Amino acid sequence: MVSSLRFRKISKGLTAYLGLAFFIVILLFPFFWMLITSIKPDSELYDMSQSPLSLHKPTLDHYVYLIQNTRFLLWMRNSAVVAIVSTSLSIVVGTLAAYSLARLRFRGAQTLGLTIFITYLIPTTLIFLPLAYVIRNLGLFDTQIALMIAYPTFLIPFCTWLLMGYFKGIPKELEESAMVDGATRLQALRMIILPIMLPGILSAALFAFTLSWNEFIYALTLAQTEAIKTLPTGIVSQLVLADVYFWGSLMAAALLGSVPIAIVYSFFLEYYVKGMTAGAVKG
């Protein structure tokens, strides 16, 4: 009997670890491929007789070429500035909009919330041309401000839709009690609700930052000058020349470009997990 129970525990643990190992391999394999490709010399990279995952003479030539022959660091800075500003603006506006739709009673609130959600679902490929026309008429074409205006058009609906669920999960009695004690609605929001909402806000901010960092269509359309380009469009413009692909440097850029996202998630992982698993106050 004891041996049977022990065998069941071992089999359950083994199944769980095998499933976790399979998930980790699938998740990390693209990064492993990028790493191998980025440190493989061209003589091995274009040798079709070798396995794509084999590596005999590792080199950093592709990283050196990326740093010295392209404006990679400038594109990284541009992406960081645009992503931080767009995310901050979207979180502020999205939080206020979500609070209004979830808490305040006014005619058409439910319809407006549904409209915001539908707006988020509209593909950027359908609206980037009209948006580029508006940006050009405003005299902001080919500037970082154009991207900071364009990105919130899809980030604010996303943040609003995500945060509405968190606000609906927080008991109204918390802020009503604060308002009975003399606090205004904004004071109750700032001192009572927002601290409770912190995991949800950080989850929305992480998603918004990731979407801004990886965005391609708007950046390709609205930023034409090399000094204004963000990382995704800058890499394509310099490392993809007609039918010539600098695969080693491309993989190096992709690997280095994923580092800021990994760092951000590692710092706020605890809040992110709380925001995804909880998202509400248990009454």
Assess if residue 94 is contained within a domain.
Answer: yes
Assess if residue 220 is contained within a domain.
Answer: yes
One domain for residues 126 and 243: yes
One domain for residues 235 and 262: yes
Assess if residue 283 is contained within a domain.
Answer: no
Assess if residue 217 is contained within a domain.
Answer: yes
* Model confidence at 280: pLDDT above 50: no
One domain for residues 54 and 81: no
**Among candidate residues 40, 59, 78, the one where a domain is terminated:** 59
**Among candidate residues 59, 78, 97, the one where a domain is terminated:** 59
Q: What is the mean pLDDT of residues 176-188?
A: 81
Assess if residue 214 is contained within a domain.
Answer: yes
One domain for residues 136 and 49: no
Confidence band (pLDDT; 50, 70, 90) for 147?
A: very high
One domain for residues 162 and 223: yes
pLDDT at 276: 55
One domain for residues 9 and 79: no
DSSP state of 190: I
Is the model more confident about 205 or about 8?
A: 205
**Angle CA 160–164–165, to nearest 5:** 135
* Model confidence at 278: pLDDT above 70: no
One domain for residues 147 and 238: yes
Q: What is the mean pLDDT of residues 44-63?
A: 82
User: What letter represents residue 198's amino acid?
Assistant: L
C-alpha 154/C-alpha 166 separation (Å) is 19
pLDDT at 207: 87
Number of domains within the chain? 2
pLDDT at 146: 92
pLDDT, the chain, mean: 83
Instruction: Write the pLDDT tens digit of every residue in 252-275.
Output: 998 998 888 888 777 776 666 665
Provide CB contacts within 8 A for 143, sequence distance 6+.
223, 228
Q: What is the mean pLDDT of residues 138-164?
A: 89
One domain for residues 238 and 98: yes
- The percentage of residues in the chain with a pLDDT greater than 90, rounded to a whole number, is 19
One domain for residues 240 and 155: yes
Number of H helices, E strands in the chain: 16, 2
One domain for residues 31 and 156: no
pLDDT at 79: 93
C-alpha 50/C-alpha 62 separation (Å) is 19
Assess if residue 282 is contained within a domain.
Answer: no
One domain for residues 136 and 159: yes
Domain span holding position 144: 62-277
281 beta partners = none
Please compute Rg for the chain using Cα positions. Answer: 24
Q: What is the mean pLDDT of residues 89-99?
A: 91
Assess if residue 225 is contained within a domain.
Answer: yes
**Among candidate residues 59, 81, 98, the one where a domain is terminated:** 59
One domain for residues 153 and 94: yes
Confidence band (pLDDT; 50, 70, 90) for 174?
A: confident
Confidence band (pLDDT; 50, 70, 90) for 277?
A: low
Give Dmax (Cα) for the chain.
79
**Angle CA 95–267–168, to nearest 5:** 25
- The percentage of residues in the chain with a pLDDT greater than 70, rounded to a whole number, is 92
pLDDT at 87: 94
* Model confidence at 3: pLDDT above 70: no
Task: Please state the separation of Cα 122 from the chain's center in Å.
Answer: 18
CATH classification at residue 136: 1.10.3720.10
Is the model more confident about 3 or about 186?
A: 186
